A and B are shown apart, each in its own frame.
Chain A
Amino acid sequence: MLRSPLHDLHIELGAKMGPFAGFEMPLWYPSKILAEHKHTRSQASLFDISHMGQASIVGEDSATELEGLIPTDLKSLPLHRMHYCCFTAVNGGILDDLVIACLGQDYFVVMNAARKEHDLNHLRTNIKKSAVLEHTENALIALQGPKATEVLRRLTPEICDLQFMTMGDFAIRGVPCIVSRSGYTGEDGFEISMAAETAMKLAKDLLNEPEVMPAGLGARDSLRLEAGLRLYGQDMDTTTTPVEAGIQWTISKSRRTGGARPGGFPGADVILEQLTNGAGRRFIGMLPQGRAPVRTGTEICLEDGKTIGRVTSGLVAPSVGAPIAMGYIDRDYASPGTQISLLLRGKHVPAEVIRLPFVKHRYQNTVKIQSNSSGGKSNV
Chain B
Amino acid sequence: MSDTRYSSDHEWARSEDENSATIGITDYAQEQLGDIVFVELPEEGATFDAGDEVAVIESVKAAAELKTPVSGTVTEVNSDLEDSPETVNESPTEDGWFCRLELSDPSELDDLMSEEEYEEFTSNLE
Contacts and interface: CB of A to CB of B under 8 A. Distances in A.
B34 A33 contact: yes
Contacts of A33: 34-35, 59-61
B56 interface: yes
A345 B56 contact: yes
A222 B56 CA distance: 20
A28 B63 CA distance: 17
B118 interface: no
Interface residues of B, number: 13
Contacts of A221: 61
Interface in B42-66: 56, 58-61, 63
B60 A222 contact: yes
A291 interface: yes
Interface string B79-90: 000100000010
Which range holds the interface residue count of chain A? 10 to 19
A32 B35 CA distance: 7
Contacts of A37: 60
Interface string A308-319: 000000011010
A34 interface: yes
A225 to B, nearest CB: 10
Contacts of B58: 292-293, 316
A44 B89 CA distance: 25
Contacts of B89: 32
Nearest to A292: B38
A66 to B, nearest CB: 35
The 10 residue pairs across chains A and B that have the minimum distance between CB atoms: A316-B37, A34-B35, A33-B60, A293-B58, A32-B35, A218-B61, A33-B35, A292-B38, A291-B38, A32-B34
7 contacts: A32-B89, A33-B35, A33-B60, A33-B61, A34-B60, A218-B60, A315-B61
